[in-house]
Amino acid sequence: MAFYVVQFLTGLASAASLFLVASGLSIIFGVTRIVNFAHGAFYMLGAYVAFTLTERFSGAFGFWGGIVVAALVVAAIGVLVEMVLLRRIYHSPELFQLLATFGLTLMVEDLVVLIWGPDDLVGRRAPGFKGAIDFFGQNIPSYDLFLIVLGPVVLGVLWLLFQRTRWGVLVRAATQDRDMVAALGVNQKWLFTSVFALGVFLAALGGALQIPRDAVNHAMDLRVIVEVFVVVVIGGLGSIIGAFVAAVLVSELNAFGILIFPKISIILVFLVMAVVLIVRPWGLFGKPEAPARRTPGLTVNPWRPLTTNERLAAIAVLVVAAALPFVGGNYLLTVGSEIAIFVIFAVSLHFLMSVGGLASFGHAAYFGLGAYGVALLAKMAGLPMIACLLLGPLLGLLGAAVFGFFAVQLSGVYFAMLTLAFAQIVWSIAFQWVSVTGGDNGILGVWPEKWAASPSHFYWLSLGVAALAVVILRIIVFSPFGFALRATRDSPLRSEAVGINGKRIQWTAFVIAGTVAGLAGALFAYLKGSVFPDNMGISLSVDALVMVLLGGVETVSGAVVGAIVYKALNIWLVSQTDLSKLVLGGFVVLIVVAFPKGIVGTLEAFMHRRRKSSSSASSPLLTSRIESAE
């Protein structure tokens, strides 16, 4: 019995930190409507800065002072980020906001390694809370008891802040209707900045307070952000009390889940989240959101199939690409195969994100499932390569069918958070289920058969499959199903009113996208000869998002161009620098701020302007779109 009590208390202690971070995210979302993906990065920065400060200044004053100063320093960094970056994108579609803060996260990860080094750092114990308390023979660290008390105290302070101060009243008003608050003459800029500062302060404090419990490392940002997303999805985005209750719930599920499913305890959290989403899609304490802003909103050109000339040009490009083995060496062919595979991956996400309006932040899960499908079939069942290539992606299909069912119940930022959480769950399973997946060591020796073994043959195979995938997805885009999908994206109200079952259409699209991503993963497994958990990691999901964005979210063929340019650039970059995440993150931020239409989108706009140069200067569509994006 005592053991369970201690386990329960450990859960409560973990909840404190989680609550701080989640409430910060909720407060920022409530006022600015930005889901701050960089929140985990601020949490991590808080821990690192606190580590440095507490190492430098000794004693109780040095420790506790260091924790608070660290949170303040990181909050100041947050203010800088808000003023320089976020102010430029408050009116952008939410996908762009998510991506910009994601780019920031990537940059911070590399910067942290650059400053503090790649090794785990073990911090000091908290002065005054170094010991443990004996509870019927079980030890409870006294620092845990401190955290258990701290959680409700912070909740109370936040409550007083929001109920009793003028600033708090303004924040609550802005959470309900920020346009009205602005109309009443409140300086929105500083309100947003101060709210962001408070949110970041809470995140950094949460990170700093973890020092005595856990080693500081450069992967803690993603781990916490996934947990925080789960917390806010369960508790309801924008609700502080929801963040508290859900943080306790998730931490306790983790604490006890370990006893029930020692290997894959995260499954339990997932099940609870799934149940909450079915019963209350907006979380336990959340309110239904107004329909999300549509991601499209930048282009004027309606989509159309290729003209005959354009088709001939596409075939010509394909023929030229197919001639590569006659001029290029083996290295170039391997790079070519990889690019072709990522074209498949990018078009699969494009289908979901641009056509379906569902920006998945965890699309790599299905890529990875396809790869693992192939590896398991080839190594365990010993099936021939063709069979593996055809059956392997079915694992991606299966995963997409299960997760997609839940994900399409939501939209906008909730959808993004949920898909990210799902991908992280799949990743954890691959990482933890060592007996089947080999864990961190992956599955090795998945080599293609003789007929596809040479670099040129494998290149042709990849190129052929890529061309086929692109053509098939394009046909679907312009099919009645594709139109129904776009209709659901454009106007859920109208599509329902013309008999379209939007959820089922989106679910089907999710499954199609997951299967095609699985196909890409299947080829990738043979290209590399091995699969690892990182084949379903977050950075791969981000790669896909950037490829689509770089090409142009609102174009039909943007994903293809984006994948080729990005992958070529990426391979070159990795060979040139160790700080690829920093460059990549900076690249993402730059695209979002300066180049939101992408390559193909910009070209199309340019052609459109040239064709229409004589007619009206400003398009009424663009103005109305900008208005609706407010």
Binding residues vs another protein (CB under 8 A): 296, 300-303, 305, 475-476, 478-484, 486-487, 490-491, 493-501, 505, 508, 619-621, 624-625
- What are the φ and ψ backbone dihedral angles of 356, each rounded to 5 degrees? -90, -10
Q: Which residue is listed with tokens 């981000």? A: 542
Please say which residue, 80 or 471, places its beta carbon nearer to another protein: 471
Minimum CB separation of residue 281 from another protein in Å reads 16
Please say which residue, 189 or 494, places its beta carbon nearer to another protein: 494
63-79: buried (b, 16+ CB within 10 Å) or exposed (e) per residue?
beebbebbbbbbbebbb
Please say which residue, 496 or 534, places its beta carbon nearer to another protein: 496
Minimum CB separation of residue 320 from another protein in Å reads 28
SS3 state of residue 169: helix
Please say which residue, 87 or 625, places its beta carbon nearer to another protein: 625
Q: How far apart are CA 545 and CA 451, in angstroms?
A: 33
Minimum CB separation of residue 615 from another protein in Å reads 11
Please say which residue, 501 or 576, places its beta carbon nearer to another protein: 501
Please say which residue, 185 or 620, places its beta carbon nearer to another protein: 620
Q: How far apart are CA 83 and CA 86, in angstroms?
A: 6
- What are the φ and ψ backbone dihedral angles of 629, each rounded to 5 degrees? -80, -10
Q: How far apart are CA 474 and CA 538, in angstroms?
A: 27
Please say which residue, 14 or 354, places its beta carbon nearer to another protein: 354
Q: How far apart are CA 573 and CA 618, in angstroms?
A: 39
Minimum CB separation of residue 246 from another protein in Å reads 27
Please say which residue, 577 or 624, places its beta carbon nearer to another protein: 624
Taking a C-beta distance cutoff of 8 angstroms, is the pair 359, 553 a contact?
A: no
Who's near 164: CB < 8 A, 6+ residues apart? none
Minimum CB separation of residue 351 from another protein in Å reads 12
Taking a C-beta distance cutoff of 8 angstroms, is the pair 101, 36 a contact?
A: yes
E-state strands within 62-179: 132-135, 138-141
Minimum CB separation of residue 360 from another protein in Å reads 20
Minimum CB separation of residue 271 from another protein in Å reads 28
Please say which residue, 357 or 448, places its beta carbon nearer to another protein: 357
Minimum CB separation of residue 61 from another protein in Å reads 55
Q: Which of 65, 45, 44 is nearest to 53 (CA)?
A: 65
Minimum CB separation of residue 158 from another protein in Å reads 30
Please say which residue, 218 or 486, places its beta carbon nearer to another protein: 486
Instruction: Dig out the tokens for 176 from the structure.
Output: 């309900």
Please say which residue, 49 or 484, places its beta carbon nearer to another protein: 484
Who's near 204: CB < 8 A, 6+ residues apart? 42, 43, 45, 46, 49, 50, 70, 71, 73, 74, 75, 78
DSSP-assigned letter for residue 378: I
Who's near 70: CB < 8 A, 6+ residues apart? 46, 49, 50, 52, 53, 204, 208
Q: Which of 50, 9, 30 is nearest to 205 (CA)?
A: 50
Taking a C-beta distance cutoff of 8 angstroms, is the pair 587, 598 a contact?
A: no
Minimum CB separation of residue 492 from another protein in Å reads 9
Who's near 340: CB < 8 A, 6+ residues apart? 459, 462, 463, 465, 466
| Angle at alpha carbon of residue 251, lines to 431 and 137, rounded to 5° | 100
Minimum CB separation of residue 138 from another protein in Å reads 49
Q: Which of 439, 433, 426 is nearest to 398 (CA)?
A: 426
Minimum CB separation of residue 299 from another protein in Å reads 8
CB atoms within 10 A of CB 166: 7
Minimum CB separation of residue 364 from another protein in Å reads 25
Please say which residue, 17 or 295, places its beta carbon nearer to another protein: 295
Please say which residue, 36 or 411, places its beta carbon nearer to another protein: 411
